[in-house]
Structure 1
Amino acid sequence: MKNNHSLIIGGGIVGATLALKLAQAKRPVTLVDATPERDKESWQQLLRQRDARVYALSLASINLLKAVGAWQNIQASGRKADYTQMQVWQLNGLGELLFGDSESHNNTAPILGSMVEPLVIEHALWQRLNDTDVSDYLTVIKGQKVVAMDWLGAHKGYQVNLENGERIIANLLIGADGRGSFVRKQAAIELDTLDYKQTAICCAIQTDKPHLTTARQAMLPTGTLALLPLADITDSDKAKPQHWQSVVWTLPRNQALALLEEEPRFIADKLAAASNYELGSINKIESIASFPLAAQQAKSYVSDNLVLIGDAAHGVHPLAGQGLNLGMLDVQALFEQLEHDYMRSGNKLWGSQQTLRTYERLRRPHNSLMMHSFSALNWLFAGTLAQTRPIQQIRSEGMYRVGKIKPLMRLFARQASGV
């Protein structure tokens, strides 16, 4: 039986990052993840393929990955696509917003963030989890599901039973196990949910025109269409760089499901037309997939000796690509609050109820604001009411005027960067 300061359930990006932060601070932590352990060869095989999905990592998320030593591995892999501009526009109406350096093709332009495939980030974190400098304080258990968790009282915390029969006792139980969180359900924490009745089609495309390190988002009557830079992987990619994009195309659910029945070439042509050929025609399309869109938030982020972070606590519309970034801000806030209160108590109180409530006050209102803001933007651009002339005029005039106020545009860019 293991006894720890902290037990993290869920070894995805958010859970692994927090585990590394705690281990670096010499706070004993165990990380349990249901995904089986992968060896070096398995990782290499997975990473040979291009993933259609990317995370739009903000500067704050990049800085956090640097702090835990994972960003260095991502840089070494070459599997990242920095972006220096963000372009937002609506097709049937006036108005365009352009964030960042207008000379986006200039290598000296400051970046707004970086597009990185999920598996690339996970691999970089996996490499760090196995490094000797954190091994004295970090225990990683892969391929094991949690089958039971019992609260033993405020002074002892939780006992967690794994499917192999192993039991772990921890002062603090941290749920980082995603939208369907077992930890959240076992703690009887309810959810506020919002079904957008939309489905996102994601894929990787090679376009005629280069992306010029610009992330693009078209606000269409059917939903948003994001064209996000992808890293160049093969030698042929690198010979003609900046032509691969990750697509997240939001459509009404029935329309999306019907389109997914079509041949890839048909989907590519429809996609190019939907973007108004912003990057020309689409030469190749790969890894077509889809997922339903819904927002959710836990009614509480904390319980006795228990706290939720990342998607276990909240999930937002992918409209601005901020889901993972919000989870990384959770990690930073929780770590700082745990450390601050532990030191203030003379190294006696770890994960006290006061500490967890402070974390919740810091993060839940901010995440709520982001969730409802994305929902409002989705409502403002997509759907029947959004296409009425008064709403179109309000959108067009608003985007035009906001785009002219440079200090406000810089403020928006800073907010998106998270720093």
Structure 2
Amino acid sequence: MQTLKPMPTQLDVDIAIVGGAMTGVTLALALRQRCPQLSVALIERAPLAPSTEPCESQVQSGFDARVIALNLHTQRRLERDSIWPALQHQGCAIETIHVSDQGHGGMVSLNPQCGQRQHGWVMALSDVQKALVPMLAERGVRCFAPATICQMQAIEQGHQLQLADGTLLTTRLLVGADGTQSQVAQHLGLQNQVLDLQQSAIIANIACQLPHHGCAFERFTAQGPVALLPMQSSAETLAVGGQGQMSLVWCLPPEQAMTFQQLPENEFLQALQHAFGWRLGRFLKVGTRHSYPLNRHHQPLLVGHHGVLVGNAAQTLHPIAGQGFNLGLRDVDTLVDVIAKHHAIFGSNALGSTAQLADYAARRAPDRQQLLSGTVGLLQLFRQTSWPMVLGRQLGLMLASHCAPLRQHIQQLGQGIKAGPQEEQQ
């Protein structure tokens, strides 16, 4: 007797989000909060729930040992979508930002303005995952994880996605939140532009002798910027007598980064001490070091046939100034606003329409361009070693230190309060 094969599951949804890292998860939650009449599916290739049996070879999801810096603008958006309450106790507040130029006298300390107590927050992505993933089920997001997309096919009013388990998913709007090497972008025929920044980043956790008092440091060196972000101290930091723990992002030429990545712990800490200085006392311990190349990825076109890109699928920035995720969340917020606005005016037929997607792309253009060019420009500025450029940098830092209006303007940009003319209208 022939065994009948089970029929594949077929599911129709209004919006399918590919990518279950923080950008994809926050988009799904925000859509269900502001557009509850629309059905949402989230597809992620790795497990969303943390494994109870850790394994070195286990595929990690978009939430891992890295940290993110969330500015005040991002916090307000998360509050509007009732996401912030799940996160507000997960991170460490950034109460001061200290910017300096190695080997030169110019420096500036930025304190919160306008009655704020902090510039933003630093959070471990693993903690964010634990806080946000349970909310997906609570808000009715249909999750497929771990799941692999075997095939994508454009249809007249959307797309069909064939999953490895046989599920056939039909959607009117396909969203790529699947990172720099976006499968959705390739399917939509969108071409990624890559700028080699000739640097690599070493990221790790550092145990420090002195407490950080909520201060984030950005120190520019001839080799590249060194960023240290305040974190809540772990048991490992306390065990070695440390009073503060920092998240390190150290940008270096690729060959030097490879050399430093392989140094014994004490030699690595000595090299970092030389680059950074002693404002945090002695560096006592470094956690597992990770290294990755720094390239600027940019999608000139954000939209295609019933499809759109957000977050790192749309653009990936150099980590200087720590604005990458904040920019991606503004993608998310604008997309949800546009979807809600068009649905209220035109009904369900507006989803994925040319007018809707063009509206999204136009509203994101000024903000994206400002940060895409600004981060590269800032990186190039602090790479220059000629005395006129060095003198200009020092005068700029000194002016920012003593001129309150200029300092406030810089702080507002860092906090995301001035995010471009289109964003201010939202």
TM-score, normalised on structure 2? 0.88
1:4 paired residue number: 13
- Of residues 73, 88, 93, the one that matches 1:82 is 93
2:182 paired residue number: 181
Instruction: Please give the alpha-carbon distance, in whole angstroms, between the structure 1 residues aligned to 2:29 and 2:90.
Output: 22
Alpha-carbon displacement from aligned partner over 1:90-134 (angstroms, at most 9, x marks no partner): 0222311221149xxxxx961110000111112211021132xx1
2:169 paired residue number: 168
2:371 aligned with 1:370: yes
Alpha-carbon displacement from aligned partner over 1:21-44 (angstroms, at most 9, x marks no partner): 11222121111111124367469x
How many residue pairs get aligned? The number is: 400
**1:69: Cα distance to partner?**
4.0
Q: SS of the counterpart of 1:307?
A: strand
**1:233: Cα distance to partner?**
3.5
Alpha-carbon displacement from aligned partner over 1:59-86 (angstroms, at most 9, x marks no partner): 12223333444432334xx541101111
2:111 aligned with 1:100: yes
Instruction: Please give the alpha-carbon distance, in whole angstroms, between the structure 1 residues aligned to 2:48 and 2:252.
Output: 36
Rate the CA distance shift 1:418–1:109 in 2: closer, same or farther, 3 A: closer
Given that 2:208 and 2:280 are in contact with CA atoms closer than 8 Å, whether structure 1 keeps it comes out as: yes
TM-score, normalised on structure 1? 0.90
Tell me which amino acid in the other structure corresponds to 2:206.
Answer: I
Please, what is the CA RMSD of the aligned residues? 2.5
**1:284: Cα distance to partner?**
1.4
2:41 paired residue number: 30
2:416 aligned with 1:418: yes
Given that 1:32 and 1:140 are in contact with CA atoms closer than 8 Å, whether structure 2 keeps it comes out as: yes
Instruction: Please give the alpha-carbon distance, in whole angstroms, between the structure 2 residues aligned to 1:171 and 1:242.
Output: 52
Given that 1:216 and 1:227 are in contact with CA atoms closer than 8 Å, whether structure 2 keeps it comes out as: yes
Q: SS of the counterpart of 1:387?
A: coil
Rate the CA distance shift 1:52–1:338 in 2: closer, same or farther, 3 A: closer
Given that 2:209 and 2:242 are in contact with CA atoms closer than 8 Å, whether structure 1 keeps it comes out as: no
Q: SS of the counterpart of 1:177?
A: coil
- Of residues 56, 59, 66, the one that matches 2:69 is 56
Given that 1:87 and 1:217 are in contact with CA atoms closer than 8 Å, whether structure 2 keeps it comes out as: yes
What does 1:2-401 align with in structure 2 at a 5 Å threshold? 2-24=11-33, 25-26=35-36, 27-38=38-49, 41=52, 53-75=66-88, 78-101=89-112, 110-131=117-138, 134-135=139-140, 138-153=141-156, 156-234=157-235, 237=238, 243-382=244-383, 386-401=384-399
Given that 2:97 and 2:217 are in contact with CA atoms closer than 8 Å, whether structure 1 keeps it comes out as: yes
**1:234: Cα distance to partner?**
3.5
Instruction: Please give the alpha-carbon distance, in whole angstroms, between the structure 1 residues aligned to 2:180 and 2:372.
Output: 14
Rate the CA distance shift 1:335–1:7 in 2: closer, same or farther, 3 A: same
Q: SS of the counterpart of 1:411?
A: helix
**1:412: Cα distance to partner?**
1.9
Rate the CA distance shift 1:217–1:38 in 2: closer, same or farther, 3 A: same
Q: SS of the counterpart of 1:345?
A: helix
Instruction: Please give the alpha-carbon distance, in whole angstroms, between the structure 2 residues aligned to 1:389 and 1:79.
Output: 44
Tell me which amino acid in the other structure corresponds to 2:289.
Answer: I
Instruction: Please give the alpha-carbon distance, in whole angstroms, between the structure 2 residues aligned to 1:60 and 1:257.
Output: 36
Alpha-carbon displacement from aligned partner over 1:171-199 (angstroms, at most 9, x marks no partner): 10000000110000111111221111111
Instruction: Please give the alpha-carbon distance, in whole angstroms, between the structure 1 residues aligned to 2:335 and 2:397.
Output: 36
Instruction: Please give the alpha-carbon distance, in whole angstroms, between the structure 1 residues aligned to 2:16 and 2:65.
Output: 32
**1:278: Cα distance to partner?**
2.2
**1:238: Cα distance to partner?**
11
Instruction: Please give the alpha-carbon distance, in whole angstroms, between the structure 2 residues aligned to 1:39 and 1:292.
Output: 27
